[in-house]
């Protein structure tokens, strides 16, 4: 009887060992990770990040915690060590961010275009303007409202450069020049309500167009190109910066996989892509 029990237990042990030997580690899903992305509101408001999130999670295990701000504030947040990676569209500020040691590996990876949007009736007659700067000037010259984001964002910086080209000081017109101090989405809503004009990135406008009483009035000119960069936050900016995870996110964002996804985003819903690869 004792011999039979011994044999039985020996067989059980052998079976257990065999099962362990046949088992393989589960590598079908990457480990869960999260990073804080400080990003311009236009990328977030367009819906691009929500669209990319499931694919990013599937491929890398990374979940994005998104802090959407104007580019200037997004870079300031990262410089304080309160983000792991940045997406912005304010080239001069981005270069300064890297040069002062707050970031590294700045890579321009996609673009879209700025547009001037306004009432469908175009009361300022901008469609007849010879160039973008002239169109900006015509808004105030015809006593129409121009709403500025006024938030030190990439869009706001671009707007100020266009006023400079038009040799116009918009803040001198306290009646018609409205500084909103908010993101692109809120600014578009207010512009629609006030039936004024504003400078917007095309992707955010198209994503909101159905709920706005606005249309694209000016959409051509080299001055309207809008380039986006991704930048790693320097680990010296803060002790909690997740450098390795941020690098994996950046590598994924610049991969062929992400490029294919970005290239078609917007086509099904809006009839055209909202972003274009490269610069």
Where residue 145 sits, what CATH number does that domain have? 3.40.190.10
In a domain, 121, yes or no: yes
Q: Same domain, yes or no, for 120 and 188? A: yes
103/149 same-domain check: no
Chain segment 186-213, per-residue pLDDT in tens: 999 999 999 999 999 998 999 899 999 9
Structural domain that includes position 214: 113-224
DSSP 173: -
Max Cα distance, the chain (Å): 107
Q: How far apart are the first and last CA of the chain?
A: 81
Q: What is the pLDDT of residue 78?
A: 94
In a domain, 23, yes or no: no
Pair 157, 237 in one domain: no
DSSP state of 80: T
Is the residue at 234 inside a domain?
yes
Residue 86 lies in a domain: yes
Assess whether 151 and 192 both reside in one domain.
yes
pLDDT at 28 (0 to 100): 58
pLDDT tens-place values along the chain, 279 residues long:
444 444 444 444 334 434 444 434 344 567 789 999 999 888 888 899 999 999 999 999 999 999 998 889 999 999 999 999 999 999 999 999 999 999 999 999 999 999 999 999 999 999 999 999 999 999 999 999 999 999 988 899 999 999 999 999 999 999 999 999 998 999 999 999 999 999 999 989 998 999 999 999 999 778 899 999 999 999 877 678 999 999 999 999 999 999 999 999 999 988 889 999 987
In a domain? residue 8: no
Q: Looking at the structure, do residues 124 and 215 belong to the same domain, yes or no?
A: yes
pLDDT at 269 (0 to 100): 86
Query: Is 10 within a domain?
Result: no
pTM given for the model? 0.79
Residues 125 and 217 in one domain: yes
Same domain membership, residue 233 and residue 168: no
- In this structure, are strands 146-148 and 33-40 parallel, antiparallel, or unpaired? unpaired
User: Do 156 and 189 belong together in one domain?
Assistant: yes
How far apart (Å, rounded) are the C-alpha atoms in residues 44 and 244?
23
The domain total for the chain is 2
Kindly state whether residue 22 falls inside one of the protein's structural domains. no
Same domain, 198 and 246: no
pLDDT tens by residue, 132-170: 999 999 999 999 999 999 998 889 999 999 999 999 999
**What's the Rg (C-alpha) of the chain?**
26
Q: Are residues 87 and 139 in the same domain?
A: no
Q: Considering the domain boundaries, does residue 7 fall inside one?
A: no
Per-residue confidence (pLDDT) for residue 42, from 0 to 100: 83
Given its phi and psi angles, is residue 233 left (phi above 0), alpha (psi -120 to 50 degrees) or beta? beta
Q: Please indicate, yes or no, whether residues 138 and 192 belong to a single structural domain of this protein.
A: yes
175 and 244 belong to one structural domain = no
Q: What is the DSSP letter of 32?
A: P
């Amino acid at each position: 009887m004792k011999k039979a029990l011994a044999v039985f237990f020996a067989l059980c042990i052998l079976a257990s060992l065999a099962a362990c030997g046949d088992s393989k580690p589960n590598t079908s899903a990457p480990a869960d990770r999260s990073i804080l992305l400080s990003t311009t509101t236009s990328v977030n408001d367009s819906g691009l990040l929500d669209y990319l999130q499931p694919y990013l999670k599937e491929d890398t295990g990374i979940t994005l915690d998104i802090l959407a701000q104007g580019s200037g504030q997004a870079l300031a947040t990262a410089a304080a060590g309160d983000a792991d990676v940045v997406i912005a569209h304010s080239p001069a500020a981005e270069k300064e961010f890297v040069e002062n040691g707050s970031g590294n590996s700045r890579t321009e990876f996609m673009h879209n275009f700025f547009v001037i949007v306004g009432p469908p009736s175009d009361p300022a007659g901008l469609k007849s303007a010879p160039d973008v700067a002239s169109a900006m000037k015509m808004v105030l010259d015809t006593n129409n409202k121009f709403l500025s984001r006024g938030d030190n964002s990439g869009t706001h910086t671009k707007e100020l450069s266009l006023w400079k080209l038009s040799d116009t000081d918009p803040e001198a017109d306290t009646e018609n020049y409205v500084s909103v101090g908010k993101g692109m989405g809120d600014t578009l809503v207010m512009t629609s309500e006030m039936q004024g004009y504003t400078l917007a990135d095309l992707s955010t406008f198209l994503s909101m167009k159905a709920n706005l009483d606005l249309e694209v009035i000016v959409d051509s000119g080299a001055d309207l190109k809008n380039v986006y960069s991704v930048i790693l936050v320097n680990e010296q900016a803060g002790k909690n910066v997740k450098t390795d995870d941020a690098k994996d996110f950046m590598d994924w964002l610049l991969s062929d996989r992400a490029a294919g996804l970005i290239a078609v985003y917007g086509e099904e819903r809006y009839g055209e892509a909202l972003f274009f690869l490269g610069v």
